Amino acid sequence: MSIETISLSGRKKEVSNKKMSFLESLYLVAIVKGLFITIKHLFTRKVTIKYPEQVRPMSPVYRGQHMLMRDEEGRERCTACGLCALSCPAEAITMKAEERKPDEKHLYREEKYASIYEINMLRCIFCGLCEEACPKQAIYLTTSKKIVKANYERDEFIYGKDKLVMPLEQALNNTKLKTAN
């Protein structure tokens, strides 16, 4: 057996360049075969996902829009240390720290918090380094399950705390689920 004829997969086909017979050169047989293949596809299940109505389930590790987490009591975890901004390779994160007032203990977990926290979604490359850098587990890209929406205005891409912080109900729900388990 010469090396040209060995087929390990069993699917190898010898290609020949022989002259077509008259029947073959009419192409009719080949065309009818092709028509049967395509008509079968008319009745198969369509693979299209009608996007805005139907959403493809996201992978658990998909890095989408960031979320600033709350703890079990619904307090913001972020302490505005700035490590995320420091680690960010795209310089997308800005923040301004503020000291917690005594009557704000139910709002913020640490004594210092971020009064302004902005991510420029045009600069962000969704690498997840901020998530890795955060010592307080305050920022995650995997929990929001959202894709950053398209927009016509560049200003609209700078997301502040209003869009980034986890909704309070979600935090309380999470705690409920945890205690129930």
Partner 1 sequence: MDSTIIIEKGVFIVIIFAITMLMAMYSTLAERKIAAWLQDRIGPNRAGKGGILQPLADGLKLFSKEEFLPDTPNKFLFVVGPAISMSVALMTSAVIPWGDKLHLFGRDIVLQATDIDVAILYVFGVLSVGVYGIMIGGWASNNKFSLMSAMRAASQMISYEIAMGLSIIALLMMEGTLSLREISANQSGMHWNVFYQPIGFIIFLVCSFAETNRTPFDLAECEAELIGGYHTEYSSMRMGFYLFAEYASMFISSTILSVLYFGGYNYPGMEWATQNWGVNPANIIGIVVLFIKICFFIFFFMWVRWTIPRFRYDQLMRLGWKILIPLAIANILVTAVVMLLLQ
Q: In the complex, which residues of this chain contact partner 1 (CB under 8 A)?
A: 22, 25-28, 31, 34-35, 37-39, 41-42, 44-48, 50
Instruction: State in angstroms the smallest separation of the CB of 27 from partner 1.
Output: 7
Residue in 76, 61, 86, 65 with CA at minimum distance from that of residue 137: 76
Instruction: State in angstroms the smallest separation of the CB of 35 from partner 1.
Output: 5
Reduced 3-state DSSP string for the chain: CCHHHCCCCCCCCCCCCCCCCHHHHCCHHHHHHHHHHHHHHHCCCCCCCCCCCCCCCCCCCCCCCCEECECCCCCECCCCCCHHHHHCCCCCEEEEEEECCHHHCCCECCCEEEEEEEEECCCCCCCCHHHHHCCCCCEECCCCCCCCCCCCCCHHHEECHHHHECCHHHHHHHHHHHHHC
Instruction: State in angstroms the smallest separation of the CB of 22 from partner 1.
Output: 8
Instruction: State in angstroms the smallest separation of the CB of 18 from partner 1.
Output: 17
The residue (of 3 and 39) whose beta carbon lies closer to partner 1 is 39
The residue (of 27 and 105) whose beta carbon lies closer to partner 1 is 27
The residue (of 18 and 106) whose beta carbon lies closer to partner 1 is 18
The residue (of 33 and 101) whose beta carbon lies closer to partner 1 is 33
Instruction: Name beta bridge partners: 165.
Output: 68
The residue (of 8 and 37) whose beta carbon lies closer to partner 1 is 37
Instruction: State in angstroms the smallest separation of the CB of 55 from partner 1.
Output: 16
